[in-house]
Chains A and B, each alone.
Chain A
Amino acid sequence: MADPPGRPAAALMYCTCRVDDLYLGIDVAVVQEVLREQPVTPVPLAPPEVRGLVNLRGRIVPAVDLGRRLGRPAAVRRTTVVVRIGSEVVCLLVDVIEDVVTLAAGDHRPVPATVDPSIAAHLGATGLLDSELLLVLDPVAACVGAARA
């Protein structure tokens, strides 16, 4: 499990990806694997951000469109980041997977209060990278917490 969001104790590594215009980081500790497009079985009556179900080697896991979850417009997202939180496994669909970056503990900042609450609710921190600002995803809120809601 990741450290408590917002107050990481030491340098953390993040798997970075792009979703619409957002540059997001997911704690590598919760990322199980990254897959190319997986066949998704749509689930009628499911919340709009749940794209459907994926057969992940015999285990049926929900595929969540991270863009829709963060209130971005719908788009065809194919890259699948498999995230495991406790015993729960969720596929997060993102636009592009980029790199793994290391962020020192001191480079974490709270999410600014002006950020749209629908996005902020799923973020743990803002990361100061030399190139740009990284939105550190709160994996629990983005996957399990929200999936349970």
Chain B
Amino acid sequence: MGELDGIVEEFLVESHENLDRLDRDLVQLEAVPDSPDLLAGIFRTVHTLKGSSGFLAFGTLERLAHAGESLLAKLRDGDLALTPARTDALLELVDAVRTLLAAVERTGTDDGLDVSGVVARLEAATVASAEGDEPGRGSTGAGAAPRPAGPEAGAEAVAGAEAGETDPEAPRRSAADSSIRVDVAVLDSLVRLVGELVLARNELLQHAGSSRDGDVLRSAHRLDLVSAELQEVVMRTRLQSMDYLWSKLPRMVRDLASQCGKQVQLVLAGRETELDRTLLDAVKDPLTHLVRNAVDHGIEAPEARRAAGKPATGTLAVRAYHASGQVVLEVVDDGRGIDPGRVLATAVERGIVTAAESRTLSPSQAVDLVLRRGFSTAPRVTTLSGRGVGMDVVRTDVEAIGGTVDLHSEPGRGCVVRVTIPLTLAIIPALVVRQDGQRYAVPQAHLVELVRPDPASPTRGVEHVAGAPVHRLRGALVPLVDLGGVLGTHAGPGEDRQQTIVVLRVGTVEFGLTVDEVLDTQEIVVKPLTGALAGIPVLAGAAVMGDGGVALILDVPGLAAAGRATGGAAAATDRTATAPAAAAAEPDDERYVLLRTTPDVTCAVPLAAVDRLEEAPAAAFERLGGTNVLQYRGDLLPLVDLTVGPAGPPAAARVSAPRPGGSDTARPEPTRPVVVCRSRGRALGLSVTEVVDIVAAPRRAAAGPGRAGTLGTIVVDGRVTEVLDVDDLPSATGMTVDG
């Protein structure tokens, strides 16, 4: 009940009131059958009901109200006369509406209830008046007195209403009683105060830890528990269900569809999914744009759909669900999809790709171009002018809140746009780095990888192009931005410093940020900078760290711009522009981690599925109930051992060698590489002999038929390499993964 959106609740309360009046009016109408005022009032009430239920996407209710409205319109206009049968039908309408409202209040939907009988009777009452309205008019007047059925039906309806009242009324009242309106500002200050409380608790716990007083320890412990719970509850108060966004969609889709002469059925799923209010506001425009795009350009006109062998009514599904700590919003249509040819033509015209490049792109790569910055010339997301227009703006908006946008289109079959956003904006995962003695937090949403350059190697260190520092990374040149240089914190010349390159991505631009040291990752609470500090472009905010100190949060887009501004030729540039066309770094190629499983077998895993590459000590590998597991970060990680091929013996533990891209060096104890993947929201480890490299290959080549557990094949260095399907691996290897 508590999840009912405010609008729905208002609608329910209002409709119950209206129904009570409708009951009264209908009964009264029997006594004064041709009172135009009464009829007009009843018509208005039913009309309102129809409008509201349509707006709130209660299709059944709307259909019912529509049937009633048609009958009432004719009665009101004097085209039909009120007969007992018609009064019965109208009273039946009121009862059915009541039942539906009760269902809506209970379940939040009016699906699954059959009103076709009532609708049929209403329709029959509207048309089947061949018995003549002239006699009808007379007979109503005459029949009013001798007909006991009418009043009885009315009385029944009223009785039913009263009986029904106890049922739907009770939860309605409790819903109203158990919720109050609170200003968002109050919630914000509550969140802030709880933050302070938590920090005070942390300080107290530190002191209590050194205290010998048992009572103090106990009290501190209790405070610890209570404040943790309080923090969680307070954070929950900021969450709001998707209904906040979705309540507007049915109406919008309806209007848009009728404007475009299309038939669209809107399916909303996952209304109860909750998201921080700030984020809901932030995704409102992108979501609106995606839905409009789908109706306007995705779903075809009814004739075109029929010609293509599809139902005349297109389906537009908007879904929301939680997945691995994030919220996923999907806009799925079964329309014509995106025409790669048109996208390519536009992209070439806008200078995003050259004509020569455009010929090398696969259709799916071409479709992805709509997400590229500069694809759209539309200045705002609300502008409509062509399929895909504004998608890059959607992407920019979503990325601004740390989210991502993916797009999958099947020409002729439809299009899926998936927007992934973090649960709350206030708390973000960040990589903590040190530069010139100070800590800085880098939002992980922008993080691509960490690289430790090897100063001794001529090609793996930092090189200079006309004075601009760059790093060779798998065939591409990554422009470098020196954090200390941008911030002006370098105490003196420090050319010999051993630095780490943090590869960051802003849109399609990748650049490397050189820092002194990478410390760890932390969940941080973002606090904005105020006053003069708010204007510093490379700083996004500040955060209180676990030890009570303050760390500045770097603004990655700002850093990219600062690199461009200060570095001249060292400008962070689009990878497409710098990467050699044929090299392994086409940004639209999917990237794969190349693994050696048995001495002579290599296979690949999509990089997107890989969380991290680890070296685990041999002692950490164990078997538990027939499943291989790995002790990993204080938890047990289910493990698929790829080193035991059908023929090959288990690979011996080996001494790890320094990996390119890793920041650790050889350790004395024998370790084995483990690829930690994410499969259906759960972590899964792949035990392999060696992590060979990260390669890029055309995505399309992976879409071939393959064995169970594989996605297909890619060609690496002229060799066909199988791509493992991480989602399918546990079942393909006969193992069960439980959360």
Interface residues of A (CB under 8 A from B): 39, 41-47, 50, 52-55, 57-60, 62, 88, 90, 144, 146-149
Contacts and interface: CB of A to CB of B under 8 A. Distances in A.
B531 A58 contact: no
B199 A53 contact: no
Contact of A43 (B192, B195, B199, B539): B539
Nearest to B203: A57
A60 B196 CA distance: 11
Given A41-B549, A44-B488, A45-B488, A58 B199 contact: yes
B538 A55 contact: no
B120 interface: no
Given A60-B550, A62-B533, A53 B542 contact: yes
A55 B198 CA distance: 13
Nearest to B536: A45
Given A41-B550, A41-B552, A45-B538, A58 B532 contact: no
Given A39-B549, A41-B550, A43-B539, A57 B532 contact: no
Contacts of B549: 39, 41, 55
B643 to A, nearest CB: 47
A147 B200 CA distance: 28
14 contacts: A41-B549, A44-B487, A45-B536, A47-B532, A50-B531, A53-B533, A55-B199, A55-B544, A57-B199, A58-B198, A58-B200, A62-B533, A146-B532, A149-B532
B536 A60 contact: no
Indicate the member of B487, B489, B531, B550 with the most A CB atoms within 10 Å. B531
Contacts of A42: 438
A60 B538 contact: no
A60 B527 contact: yes
B536 A43 contact: yes
B548 interface: yes
Nearest to A89: B530
B196 A58 contact: yes
Nearest to A52: B550
Contacts of A39: 548-550
A26 B538 CA distance: 34
Nearest to B439: A41
A55 B195 CA distance: 12
Nearest to B541: A60
Contact of B550 (A44, A55, A90, A148): A55
Contacts of B13: none
B268 interface: no
Contacts of A148: 531-532
A88 B488 CA distance: 28
Contact of B489 (A44, A144, A149): A44
A8 B529 CA distance: 33
Nearest to A143: B531
B544 to A, nearest CB: 5
A8 B538 CA distance: 42
Contact of B196 (A59, A88, A144): A59
Contact of B438 (A41, A54, A59, A88): A41
A127 B731 CA distance: 83
Given A45-B538, A55-B549, A88-B530, 6 more contacts: A50-B532, A55-B199, A57-B196, A58-B198, A59-B196, A147-B532
B544 A58 contact: yes
A87 to B, nearest CB: 9
A55 B199 CA distance: 10
Contacts of B527: 59-60
A142 B538 CA distance: 26
A53 B550 contact: yes
Closest 5 A/B residue pairs (Cβ)? A147-B531, A44-B487, A58-B196, A41-B550, A58-B199
A54 B532 contact: no
Nearest to B195: A58
Nearest to A41: B550
A50 B533 contact: yes
A44 B542 CA distance: 12
A62 B488 contact: no
B192 A58 contact: yes
A113 B262 CA distance: 75
A7 B536 CA distance: 36
B144 interface: no
Nearest to A44: B487
Contacts of B195: 58
B137 to A, nearest CB: 71
B531 A60 contact: no
Contacts of A55: 199, 544, 548-550
Interface in B283-313: none
Nearest to A54: B550
A42 to B, nearest CB: 7
Interface string B532-564: 110010110011100011111000000000000
Interface string B190-231: 001001101110000000000000000000000000000000
B408 to A, nearest CB: 42
A90 B200 CA distance: 20
A43 to B, nearest CB: 6
Contacts of A44: 438, 487-489, 536, 552
B530 A147 contact: yes
Given A41-B552, A43-B539, A44-B487, A59 B192 contact: yes
A94 to B, nearest CB: 19
A53 B552 CA distance: 9
A97 B682 CA distance: 57
Contacts of A88: 530-531
B200 A57 contact: yes
A147 B196 CA distance: 24
B539 A45 contact: yes
Interface in B550-603: 550-552
Contacts of A54: 550
Given A44-B487, A53-B542, A60-B550, A144 B531 contact: yes
Contacts of B529: 43
Contacts of B544: 55, 58, 60
B443 to A, nearest CB: 17
A84 to B, nearest CB: 13
A54 B542 CA distance: 10
Interface in B469-516: 487-489
B361 to A, nearest CB: 41
B551 A43 contact: no
Interface string B309-324: 0000000000000000
Given A41-B438, A44-B489, A47-B532, A60 B542 contact: yes
A39 B195 CA distance: 19
Interface string B414-445: 00000000000000000000000010000000
A53 B438 CA distance: 12
Interface string B519-533: 000000001011111
Nearest to B194: A58
B196 A46 contact: no
Interface in B163-202: 192, 195-196, 198-200
B12 to A, nearest CB: 39
Contact of B533 (A46, A59, A144): A46
Contacts of B551: 41
A86 to B, nearest CB: 12
A43 B196 contact: no
Contacts of B538: 45
Contacts of B489: 44
B331 to A, nearest CB: 38
A60 B192 CA distance: 11
A148 B309 CA distance: 63
Contacts of B531: 50, 62, 88, 90, 144, 147-148
Nearest to B202: A58
Contacts of A57: 196, 199-200
A149 B538 CA distance: 18
